[in-house]
Amino acid sequence: MTEVNGQTVKQDEARKAILSSIRAHLATSAPFDADWREHHGYASEGVAVWEPIRMAMSSAALAHVFCANLESVGGHCTVVADETEAAKQVGKIIDQLDPRRIAISNSELIGRLVERNAAVEIVENAHAEYLFDCDLGVTSAQWAIAETGTLVLESDRESHRLTSLVPPVHLCVLRAADIRQTLGEILELASRDLSRTVTFITGASRTSDIELTLAIGVHGPGELHVIVIAD
């Protein structure tokens, strides 16, 4: 509903007009519907059976499939045994990138894994303006999809919408136990307590808008590193 009075009235009019137009036109169509469905061989009450195939897989196998699919879209993936190993791997990636400023999300896991030292400035839950000056964003992910190599970020459980997006490199830490095989399973899990924003991330930001030539890192991160903790 719009704020101004005149607008509200007009809005109500528009809503009623659209709904009655929908109903009137559907009624016009009704006498033709049965013949048309018969002509195409469509069942009148559509019953389409389609179910994705799922195989029972261990979390180690799922981690393996996830990494392979993530790497096929240009992501970098490492599986580590535990948090101690994960912290070492985080340190290694930070050393390689040599960032001036790192943005981290409010995840407790990430807080534990990123080592504080004087050489690098680390900002937790940074403001948007500040994020534009960060060289690396570190977040965790709530779930992952093995069949597509996709990270799933739920906004109600962590503030990572912009940290995973604005800096040119995104480093994400994930537990193997949170990997599922299919998109369908993840949709089911996410819908149980639907976050205000659920973001799926599959690889680095990309475009083919110029002569269909692939270019990486157009608006989002040009590099995506994922560390999977196996335990």
Partner 1 sequence: MHLTSETFDQNARDALRDPVLHGALRNLADNFVERRRAAIASVDDWEGLREKARVIKEQTLCHLDRYLLQFVENAEKAGVKFHWARDGKEACGIVLNLLKKRGAKHVVKSKSMATEEIHLNAALEAEGIEPVETDLGEWIIQLAGETPSHIVVPAIHKTKAQIADLFVDKVGIEKTDDVDVLTRTARNILRQRFAEAEVGISGVNFGVAETGTIVILENEGNIRLTTGLPKTHIAVMGIEKIIPKFADLDVFLKLLPRSGTGQRLTAYQSIITGVKRNVTDEGPDEIHIVLMDNGRSRMLAHPVTRQSLACIRCGACLNACPVYQQVGGHAYGSVYPGPIGAVITPQLIGISKAKQLPYASSLCGACREVCPVKIDIPELLLHLRAEITDGTAGGAESNPQRKRKFTESLAFRMYGFAWSGPVSYGLGIKAARLMQKLVVRDGRIGKVSGFVAKLLPPLGAWTAWRDAPAVAERSFREQWRDGLGNNSQWSVVSGQ
Query: In the window 117-176, what residues touch partner 1 (CB under 8 A)?
Result: 128-129, 132, 147-148, 150, 155-156, 159, 161-162, 165-166
Give the chain's length. Answer: 231
Which one-letter DSSP state was computed for residue 115? Answer: P
Rounded to whole angstroms, how far apart are CA atoms 229 and 63?
A: 9
54-113 binders of partner 1 (CB under 8 A): 69, 73
- In terms of phi and psi (left: phi > 0; alpha: psi -120 to 50; beta: otherwise), the region of 156 is alpha
CB of 158 to partner 1, least distance (A): 10
Residue 17 touches partner 1, criterion: CB under 8 A: yes
Rounded to whole angstroms, how far apart are CA atoms 176 and 166?
A: 26
> Of 12-20, 108-116, 134-142, 172-180, which segment contacts partner 1 by CB under 8 A?
12-20
Which one-letter DSSP state was computed for residue 116? Answer: P
> Of 57-65, 79-87, 114-122, 190-198, which segment contacts partner 1 by CB under 8 A?
190-198
Give the DSSP letter string of 79-111. Answer: EESSHHHHHHHHHHHHHHH--SEEEE-S-HHHH
Residue 190 touches partner 1, criterion: CB under 8 A: yes
Applying CB under 8 A, which of residues 9, 84, 112, 208 lies at the interface with partner 1? 208
Applying CB under 8 A, which of residues 9, 21, 84, 112 lies at the interface with partner 1? 21
Nearer to partner 1, 49 or 118 (CB): 49
